[in-house]
Amino acid sequence: MLLMIPILLLNVGISFWNARVCGLVWDESKVLGDWIRVVVISGAVQAACGFTMAIAFALVAVLAGAGALTPRDLEFVVPLLYLAVGIPLIGTGLIILMHSWIEFFRNKTLVNAGVAVYNTIAMAHNISDAVNGFGPALKEVFKTIGGAADGDDNDAKAVVMGIVILLVALGGGYLLTMAIIKHYAGKLPLPERQSVPQSG
């Protein structure tokens, strides 16, 4: 459990950075539209997912410590959160990965190469994790929902707790991401306009 704290702090730091970068180009991406808008929104989704997991972890820790979450509840809550965050992370991660490789091929710098390599490794890890984890997580979620539908009170409580935690964490992740984006929106200095020679 203690090992999760530095990982979550790192995750919050990365999420803040993603939200900040998205905020700096948020207004411009609205004007430009097309691919750059898709990339910026993908970055915002990544940030929101990171914040969502941190909030969910805090909620689970507090509720479990207070005795409000049983081990049976956790068997449903953890895979539900994993699926709710993992699916958008994979989709938006692929978009960001494609963008980083496009940027590298357009401008072959060491920084662009580093970003592309990092994104490739992160995406490979996420996909590998999804291949191994999505099946068991789906099975557990459907098993618990089925038990609740059949009248099992423990499963019904787990489903209610899981949905409440998920909604609170998703809402908090979204609001925190948008607050950071709005704070940084419009603060990136634009390049000075070049003067156009006047014909005489």
State if pTM tops 0.75: yes
Q: Is residue 21 part of a domain?
A: yes
pLDDT of residue 192: 61
Q: Is residue 98 part of a domain?
A: yes
Neighbours of 18 (CB within 10 A): 24
Q: Is residue 195 part of a domain?
A: no
Q: Is residue 11 part of a domain?
A: yes
pLDDT of residue 164: 95
The kind and range of the H/E element at 109 are none
Q: Is residue 61 part of a domain?
A: yes
Q: How many domains does the chain have?
A: 1
pLDDT of residue 144: 92
Q: Is residue 100 part of a domain?
A: yes
**107, burial (CB in 10 Å: exposed 0-12, middle 13-18, buried 19+):** exposed
Helix (H, G, I), strand (E, B) or coil at 66: coil
Q: Is residue 94 part of a domain?
A: yes
pLDDT of residue 200: 47
At 9-48, the pLDDT tens digits run 888 999 999 999 999 999 988 888 889 999 999 999 999 9
Q: Is residue 199 part of a domain?
A: no
Contact 165, 63 (CB under 8 A): yes
Contact 39, 25 (CB under 8 A): no
The Cα 1–Cα 3 span in angstroms is 5
Question: Which positions of the chain have pLDDT values less than 70?
Answer: 1-2, 190-200
pLDDT of residue 13: 92
In the numeric block, which tokens belong to residue 194? 């070049």
Radius of gyration of the chain (CA): 21
- Expressed as residue numbers, the domain containing 69 is 4-184
pLDDT of residue 194: 54
Mean pLDDT of the chain: 89
pLDDT of residue 186: 81
